[in-house]
Chain A
Amino acid sequence: MPIVFIPTMLLPVSGGVKQVTIDAANMRQVIDGLDLLYPGMKSRLMDEGQIRSNLAVAVDGEVARLGLMEKVGEESEVHFVPAIGGGAAWWVGWRL
C-alpha cells in the first residue's frame, strides 16, 4: 500500500504520526483514507474541492499533474510539498 507522509504542520491532526499507509489507487482515495483515519485532514489539505492552492502533491518524487485523479501505486510514496506552479499564486502573478 502507498506510504503517505504527513506534513509537519498537520502532525497535530494525525496525533504526531509522521507516515501512514493508506489503501488507495489515486489521490482522492488517499485523502479520503487520511480523513477517515484522522478526521479533519481533508479540510486542511483541500479547499473548495481541490488540493489547496499553496500545496502540490508529489508521488514518487514527481509533482502530480492530475491533482485528485493522480494514480498512486502499491509502492508509491506520497508527499505534500509547496506548490511552485499552476496553483501557486505567484507563478501566474495575478492569480492571488
Chain B
Amino acid sequence: MPGLVHVQTTINGVQTDFLAEPRQSLLEVLRDVLGKTGTKEGCNDGNCGACTVILDGRIVDSCLVLAVETQGSEVTTIEGLATADGLHPIQQAFLEQAALQCGICTPGFIVASKGLLDQEPDADEARIRHWLAGNLCRCTGYDKIIRAVLEAEKLSK
C-alpha cells in the first residue's frame, strides 16, 4: 500500500490535518476519512458536479482534485454553509422553492451557486444557467433550481 502523506488544510474555517494516500481524491478523503458525507459522488469523473466544493475561492469538482493538493488551502463544503443561527440564504431558497426532489445533487448545486453569488450577487437567469451547466440534476428539470438561486439573491440583500 502506498505511503500516507500528512496534509494540513482549512475546511469550513477549521484547520484540519489528515493522512491521505497520494492517489486519494479530495472527495474520497472528505467522505471516507473526514466523515463529511454531504459532498456527494455521482460520477467520479468530473461530469456531474455533485461533489462541488469551493477551493480557495473557486468551485471545483472534488473528485478531480487530489487530496494532497489541498495542502495549505481553504476548502468550503456544504457542511460549512449553515450556522447555528440558521440556513444560508441559498439553502433557505432551495428549501422554500421546492428546488429539490431526491436531493442528491442539491449540495453540489448549493455550493456551486454560492461560488457564483459570492462574486456576482446579481447574476441573471442566463448567467445562472451558464454557471450551473456543470451540475446535473435529473429530477427537477432545473426550473425550480434556477428560480431558487434568483430568490437567494433577493434573500441575501
> Are any A and B Cβ atoms less than 8 Å apart in their complex?
no
B residues near A (Cβ < 8 Å) are none
Which A residues are within 8 Å of any B CB, using their own CB?
none
